[in-house]
Amino acid sequence: MSQFLQPTILLLREGTDTSQGRAQIVSNINAVQAVADVVKSTLGPRGMDKMIQTGPKVTISNDGATILNLLEVVHPAARVLVDIAKSQDDEVGDGTTSTTLLAAELLKEAKPFIEEGIHPQIVIQGYRKALELALEKLEGFSINISRDSPQEKRDTLLKCAQTALNSKLLANTKQFFSELVVSAVEKLDPNILDRDLIGIKNVTGGSVNDSFLVDGVAFKKTFSYAGFEQQPKRFENPKICLLNLELELKSEKENAEIRIEKPEEYQQIVDAEWALIYEKLDIIVKAGAQIVLSKLPIGDLATQYFADRNIFCAGRVPQEDLLRVQKATGGQVQTTVNGLNPETFGTCGLFEEVQVGAERYNLFKNCPQSRTATIVLRGGAEQFIQEAERSLNDAIMIVRRCFKANKIVAGGGAIELELSRYLRHYARSVTGKTQYIVNSFAKALEVIPRTIAENAGLNSIEIMNKLRQRHAQGGEEGRWYGVDINGASGVCDTHSSFVWEPSLVKRNALCSATEAACAILSIDETVKNPKSDQDTKMKPRGQPGRPPMGMRR
Amino acid sequence: MSLAFDDYGRPYIILRDQGSKKRMKGLEAYKSNILAAKAVANTLSSSLGPKGMDKMLVSPDGDVSVTNDGSIIVEKMEIQHPTAKLLVELSQSQDAEIGDGTTGVVVLAGKLLEQALTLLDKGNHPLKISDGFDRACDVAIKHLETISEEIDIQANEHEALIQAACTALGSKVVSKRKRELGKIAVTAVLDVADLARKDVNLDLIKIQTKTGGSVEDTRLISGILIDKDMSHPQMPKEVKEAKICLLTCPFEPPKPKTKHNINISSAEDYKKLYQQEQQYFVDMVKLVKDSGANIALCQWGFDDEANHLLLQNELPAVRWVSGTDVELIAMATGARIIPRFQEITPEKLGKAGSVKEVQFGTSNERMLVIENCQCTKAVTILIRGGSQMIVDEAKRSIHDAICVIRNLIKDNRIVYGGGSAELACAIQVLQYADEVSSVEQYAIRSFADALEGIPCCLADNCGLNPITSVAQAKSRQLQENNPRIGIDCMELGTTDMKEQRIYETLSSKKQQIQLATQVVKMILKIDDVIAPDDY
């Protein structure tokens, strides 16, 4: 009898949730769909925004990565989607929504196969093959744009920036902002293109058209002590001294012991302290500095000392601003004033303190070694500016990418359709199950133009038929037909209407979407441990950590 | 939130705290957003115009404020709804940038949203509507510029500026005294204005309030008023030809910043220490005296010992003067701020015609007035009024007036008020609408309707029949081709706003239309609201 008596084996902790098998894959796919549905309506030039309230803070955004991040997705499989959106954001900055949609659509297409009993690995193989072909073709299709003259290059960059801004709140002023973004990126060192050197400052008030670019650095007036107003607020070609030093009367050492016998000596101690700070100030003045900036506080004594000598000073300058001042003016941040060398001073064409809205800003303009730029954004509401900043960020990233790689493809869903056509054609030449799967991949690609059309309130079925027909004619002619949201027919040659995107964006989107889809398809079991009490306490709300999960191939 | 189910029909959680989140999508989201924003705008609409009403707002602590200023009202309403908050910020951004027209901008946004709602009901795509609004906004702005007029701010003793200030003050509780207050505001701004750079630093105008007296007693002090008195009651109440010594160190024996303690072992030492301390006081007073100063203002305090010595040496002194005041005094009198006694030199002293202590009413409150400063770059407006509420509202009104004058100095183009500018723009936008062949045509037409909403609202608030008066004004504008015809709110018998001298700055009007359009566009673009359910 003993062979019938199965002893209970406790393998996992109580409360652990396990699910496995085919059903698991299908359920993961469903979860991914639900998440992708949220961002779906943000795609394209007529994409809508989402308003998400987290605690007291309200965010209005059109940016796929931002929305997914704020949704606080906890489902383990769906989180993969959030991660690819983020990686797309980090890598190329734009195209986060399309990546997410593409991944979800690939999974949706895979679902019937899984349900019919095709092994997930075969689907994965098929997708990988299709991706390989698609990427190869993408290279072939992308257009090398001539950029012999700087003017042509600039034009291309402008077009790409405009395409990126198309779907955002700033769409109506995209001309203006694309100019701003391109000019800002052009200021950077073309070899490095460090994103951190473009500062974006937000000032509420005014209209968006009042935003402006400073070819140098701008930062908000720092906290100032009495006497600050007596300092001059405008310099031409000033000498700028950058410090990481506290200029304040303070106890130099906490645990010093000095013994004095006579009351007269008491005065000497006091004098010594004053002498210390005066010595520092004196060195700075003697070295000929006209503007003194410090990361650490500059006290009232120093403020007045400088005011008496017509020197401008600002303490508690934020780190990144000081860094940008350093880059722009060619100065070096000093941590001591001993042996202060005028050679470490930076300079700029014009320094000025100006009123922007309700704030006062310090502007350093016409910097000689200007390798940095600052965009001062204006707008009606806080949320508006924040969204504008995110949009500009996307545009800056795109322009940066474009700066190096000079290959572009046409947007508006044209390239996806063309790849789809090619893959369908190819599928017919293979035998076996792969044929179906490559076909599904081709079908999934169509989600991009379809969604753009849907979001624009167009009849997507009609548009898709028109587009497929155009592309099926083959050759150069129909290649760049995409969704046209303005015209009556709904389709147009997006290449000639200058909806351009760097091919790198598409390449990265295709890769990461396929990778994500494959990763989700290959999971057949989830083991979810019960939350330990400690864990919930440790993690503050609003920063969702990845819940403990086990993955097994 | 939408739930996903696996094949066994089990729902599973995708988002954190999924159950407690609320999601609104599509048309439901637009409508709820628009209605919330409209509710805010409706609250404000009765405050618009010269006969607009005030709101009484009670804060959680029971403080009551009565105001007519749009940005203050929405701020104190403590609005929770996220979309409605956008309107609050809209009003505040108008306040930060222009300072005036904070009610108008919210009312206009409300009218635009109202129009958008009807368009949505007709099945228009929200982005088409916002595109249309945007194009209409451009047309309106361009038209505003063509009908604007440049005024000479210098002519006729700054008459134009005073009129503009009066327009700003017209809707406030102090409107009875608008001419006097307007003059005060104009003089104050011109005193501190840098006409060459067309810049006005409003920090240099200090507005001090004091309850008591009446609004008529409000006056401008070409100098500085500080809410302090002489440190000793026997010190002279007035110092003529004052030489001011501004100190940021206390009248005390110096202390090193390093932590220290003093050990005294014998009575002799104690005496020595005492003498030393006395010596310090004597030296300090002597140093101040020697420099020629006849009054000392100190940012810190000083003890009775020093106070007594100062009195003996006939050196009037003021203690605990705030840092911002010290700075203002320094700017006005040309004084340099002195961080320690050893550095006092005659050059560092500031000069003023007189420093005197003034007393108000029967209460024992005294203030110090520094007048006829060497370089008058700072002025103070002292506002009086029957109650704290009136004084506060008067302060806000004067602030609005000052902002208007500043804007005129920056840009001397004006448009005429009384709803005439909006009407003129509406007519222009309506004409433009017919030229547009696409769906946007409807949105553009609605924009014109929304603009007409402003004069309607004005007329309504003045007790006029809104439809008749707007229709009359509109037809006259068209017939006479005169963009200055508006609503005769004050019933002066003429609807020509040039004759009524209702001036508004172009920059303010432009900003109003632009900001309102911007926010409406933003609200229209939201199709999905995800929020915690509990609120």
Residue A204's CB: how many other CB atoms inside 10 A?
21
Name the residue with higher pLDDT: A312 or A204: A312
Q: What token pair was written down for A245? A: 């030093």
Q: How far is B496 from chain A (nearest CA, A)?
A: 30
Asked if B248 is an interface residue toward chain A (Cβ–Cβ < 8 A), one would say yes
Q: Which residues of A are catalytic?
A: 63, 96-97, 394
Cα B131 versus chain centre, distance: 32
Mutate to test the interface with A, among B530, B533, B534, B535 (most CBs of A within 10 A): B530
Window 352-371 of A: residues touching B by CB (8 A cutoff) are 355, 357-358
How far apart CA A183 and CA A188 sit, in angstroms, is 9
Torsion angles phi and psi, residue B225, rounded to 5:
-115, 125
Alpha helices (runs of H) in B291-339, residue ranges in sequence order: 304-312, 323-333
B103 has catalytic annotation: yes
Long-range contacts of A50-54 (CB under 8 A, 24+ apart): A50/B526, A50/B527, A50/B528, A50/B529, A50/B530, A51/B29, A51/B33, A51/B82, A51/B83, A51/B526, A51/B528, A51/B529, A51/B530, A51/B531, A52/B529, A52/B530, A52/B531, A53/B82, A53/B529, A53/B530, A53/B531, A53/B532, A54/A542
Residues 6+ apart with CB under 8 A from A72: A54, A542, A544, B15, B16, B17
What strands, in cross-sheet order, belong to the sheet with B21-25?
A57-61, A49-54, B526-532, B21-25
Residue A91 pLDDT grade (very low, low, confident, very high; cuts 50, 70, 90): confident
Is B264 in contact with B273 (CB distance < 8 Å)?
A: yes
Window 296-335 of B: residues touching A by CB (8 A cutoff) are 299, 323-324, 326-327, 330-331
Residue B401's CB: how many other CB atoms inside 10 A?
31
What pLDDT is recorded for position B447? 93
Mutate to test the interface with A, among B23, B337, B533 (most CBs of A within 10 A): B337
How far apart CA B253 and CA B274 sit, in angstroms, is 11
How far apart CA A418 and CA A141 sit, in angstroms, is 9
Asked if B256 is an interface residue toward chain A (Cβ–Cβ < 8 A), one would say yes
What pLDDT is recorded for position B143? 92
What pLDDT is recorded for position A433? 84
Domains of chain A, first to last: 17-142+410-528 (1.10.560.10), 216-254+261-369 (3.50.7.10)
Rg (CA), chain B: 30
What pLDDT is recorded for position B19? 67
Question: Nearest Cβ partner of A226 from B90, B201, B248?
Answer: B248
Checking if the pLDDT of B4 tops 60, the result is no
Nearest to B240 by CA among B357, B335, B352: B352
Torsion angles phi and psi, residue A312, rounded to 5:
-95, 140
Is A69 in contact with A86 (CB distance < 8 Å)?
A: yes
Q: What token pair was written down for A270? A: 């006091």
With residue A451 as reference, give the H or E element that holds it: helix A447-455
Nearest to A520 by CA among A50, A171, A132, A33: A33
Torsion sign across C-alpha atoms B421, B423, B428, B430: positive
Residues 6+ apart with CB under 8 A from A90: none
Q: By three-state DSSP, how is residue A199 classified? A: strand
Average pLDDT over residues A425-443: 89
What pLDDT is recorded for position B347? 83
Q: Provide, as residue numbers in chain B, all residues whose Cβ is less than 8 Å from the Cβ of A41.
A: 527-528
The CA-based diameter of chain B, rounded to the nearest angstrom, is 102
Q: What token pair was written down for A393? A: 């960020």
Q: By three-state DSSP, how is residue A490 classified? A: coil
- The one-letter code for the residue type at A182 is V
What pLDDT is recorded for position B142? 92
The proportion of chain B whose per-residue pLDDT surpasses 90, expressed as a percent, equals 8
Lowest-pLDDT range of A290-304, B176-190, B300-314, B420-434: B300-314
Contact assignment for B93 to A380 by CB distance below 8 Å: yes
Q: Provide, as residue numbers in chain B, all residues whose Cβ is less than 8 Å from the Cβ of A272.
A: 256
How far apart CA B70 and CA B285 sit, in angstroms, is 52
How far apart CA A448 and CA A506 sit, in angstroms, is 11
Q: Note the pLDDT tens digit of each residue in B107-144.
A: 999 999 999 999 988 888 888 888 899 889 999 999 99
Rounded to 10°, the helix B102-121/B26-45 angle is 150
With residue A403 as reference, give the H or E element that holds it: helix A382-404
Asked if A249 is an interface residue toward chain B (Cβ–Cβ < 8 A), one would say yes
Q: What token pair was written down for B109? A: 């946004």
Q: Provide, as residue numbers in chain B, all residues whose Cβ is less than 8 Å from the Cβ of A357.
A: 93, 96-97
Comparing alpha-carbon positions, the chain A residue that sits nearest to B99 is A358
Name the residue with higher pLDDT: B7 or A125: A125
Q: What token pair was written down for B508? A: 């303010």
Average pLDDT over residues B442-456: 92
The proportion of chain A whose per-residue pLDDT surpasses 70, expressed as a percent, equals 89
What pLDDT is recorded for position A105? 93
Residue A352 pLDDT grade (very low, low, confident, very high; cuts 50, 70, 90): confident
Q: What is the ipTM of this complex?
A: 0.75
How far apart CA A372 and CA A369 sit, in angstroms, is 9
Residue A542 pLDDT grade (very low, low, confident, very high; cuts 50, 70, 90): very low
How far apart CA B299 and CA A227 sit, in angstroms, is 12
Burial class (CB in 10 A: 0-12, 13-18, 19+), B449: middle
Q: Note the pLDDT tens digit of each residue in A265-292.
A: 777 777 877 888 888 888 888 888 888 8
Q: Note the pLDDT tens digit of each residue in B355-373.
A: 888 877 666 677 888 888 7
How far apart CA A394 and CA A382 sit, in angstroms, is 19
Checking if the pLDDT of B197 tops 80, the result is no
Q: Note the pLDDT tens digit of each residue in A237-258.
A: 888 888 888 887 765 556 666 6
What pLDDT is recorded for position A146? 65
Average pLDDT over residues A430-450: 90
Average pLDDT taken over every residue of chain A: 81
Long-range contacts of A468-473 (CB under 8 A, 24+ apart): A468/A417, A468/A421, A471/A417, A471/A418, A471/A420, A471/A421, A472/A421
What pLDDT is recorded for position A249? 73
What strands, in cross-sheet order, belong to the sheet with A407-410?
A143-144, A407-410, A500-502
Average pLDDT over residues B411-415: 86
What pLDDT is recorded for position A477? 72
The proportion of chain A whose per-residue pLDDT surpasses 90, expressed as a percent, equals 10
Is A16 in contact with A528 (CB distance < 8 Å)?
A: yes
Nearest to A295 by CA among A311, A277, A315: A315
Checking if the pLDDT of B186 tops 70, the result is yes
What pLDDT is recorded for position B314? 83
The CA-based diameter of chain A, rounded to the nearest angstrom, is 105
Q: What token pair was written down for B294? A: 């006849």
Q: What token pair was written down for A360? A: 């006062």
Nearest to B111 by CA among B42, B58, B46, B168: B42
Nearest to B90 by CA among B78, B76, B103: B103
Question: Nearest Cβ partner of A383 from B3, B5, B86?
Answer: B86
The proportion of chain B whose per-residue pLDDT surpasses 70, expressed as a percent, equals 94
Domains of chain B, first to last: 20-150+415-532 (1.10.560.10), 224-255+265-376 (3.50.7.10)
Cα B302 versus chain centre, distance: 36
Asked if B32 is an interface residue toward chain A (Cβ–Cβ < 8 A), one would say no
Q: Which DSSP string do the residues of A338-399 spell out, in sequence order?
A: TT--GGG-EE-SEEEEEEETTEEEEEEES-TT---EEEEEEESSHHHHHHHHHHHHHHHHHH
Torsion angles phi and psi, residue B44, rounded to 5:
-80, -20
What pLDDT is recorded for position A128? 92
Q: Kindly list the distances between the CA atom of residue B497 and the CA atoms of A495, B168, B486, in Å, as whole numbers in the listed order.
A: 53, 14, 6
